[in-house]
Amino acid sequence: MRLVWALLCYGISLASQAAQLSLPESWQLLALVPRQSFSSHGVTLSPGEHQLLVRYQGVIPARSSSDFDETHTSGPLWLRVQIQGDGRLQLAEPSLADGQAMAAFAKAPQVTLTGEGGQLLAQQAVPHKGFVLGTNYQALLEDHLALTSARAQPTQAAAEPAAASAVAQAPLKAGAVSEAQLQQLFLQADPALRKRFVSWAIGQL
């Protein structure tokens, strides 16, 4: 009971912490994992790891009403971001002076994360074929993450085959897991899993 109450309080404290991530006008936020509501130029992220799909779109306004704007659009870019707590974060891009610089940048976009409350762990272009209109970017991001995870699994399995076998064959006994071990496992889980566990634990009282 004491442990469940402590975990519940911890979950409430996590919910009150969040980082505000903003994107410049030339960038669009397309999808998020874990899923949550967001706008194309900003989102509130809770502590933990988040996967983002973004896209660059640089525009040079037309000089006259009879001309079209000059637009340079990149393919989707995957970002892996770790949020530590409260703060304000911004995606930042290099200074692009003209259309030629924008066109070159759109072919190989790279961003940095500035501010406090989080850090950018990785970024990678996501292959995408077909028309931009009608693209399900949430599905595109989730497919990319699934493919990345599948590629990493053989390496992980080869590194610890004995440990995985031992865990699978040895059933847990009552009292085998200490309170400290359970707390450690809880802290290692992502925010969505923590919330599900707290809801389940309350139902066991």
Looking at the chain, the whole-number percentage of residues with pLDDT higher than 90 is 52
Q: Which of 13-17, 47-51, 75-79 is least confident?
A: 13-17
With a CB cutoff of 8 Å and minimum separation 6, the contacts of 186 are 7, 10, 194, 197
Q: Strand order of the sheet with strand 42-45?
A: 42-45, 19-22, 87-92, 112-115
Asked if residues 59 and 70 have their Cβ atoms less than 8 Å apart, the reply is yes
**Inter-CA distances, 150 with 123, 125, 157, 168, Å:** 18, 18, 11, 20
Asked if residues 196 and 16 have their Cβ atoms less than 8 Å apart, the reply is no
HSE-up (13 A, CA, CB side) for residue 38: 26
Q: Which of 25-34, 158-167, 183-192 is least confident?
A: 158-167
Distance of alpha carbon 123 from alpha carbon 126, whole angstroms: 9
The answer to whether residue 20 scores a pLDDT higher than 90 is: yes
Calculated CA dihedral for residues 189, 179, 202, 164, nearest 10 degrees: 50
Task: Read off the tokens for 20.
Answer: 């505000």
Q: For 85-110, give one letter per residue: b (16+ CB within 10 A) or e.
A: eebebebebeebeeeeebeebbeebe
The answer to whether residue 9 scores a pLDDT higher than 60 is: no
The answer to whether residue 63 scores a pLDDT higher than 50 is: yes
Q: What is the DSSP string of 24-39?
A: -TTEEEEEEES----B
pLDDT of residue 50: 98
Task: Read off the tokens for 48.
Answer: 């933990």
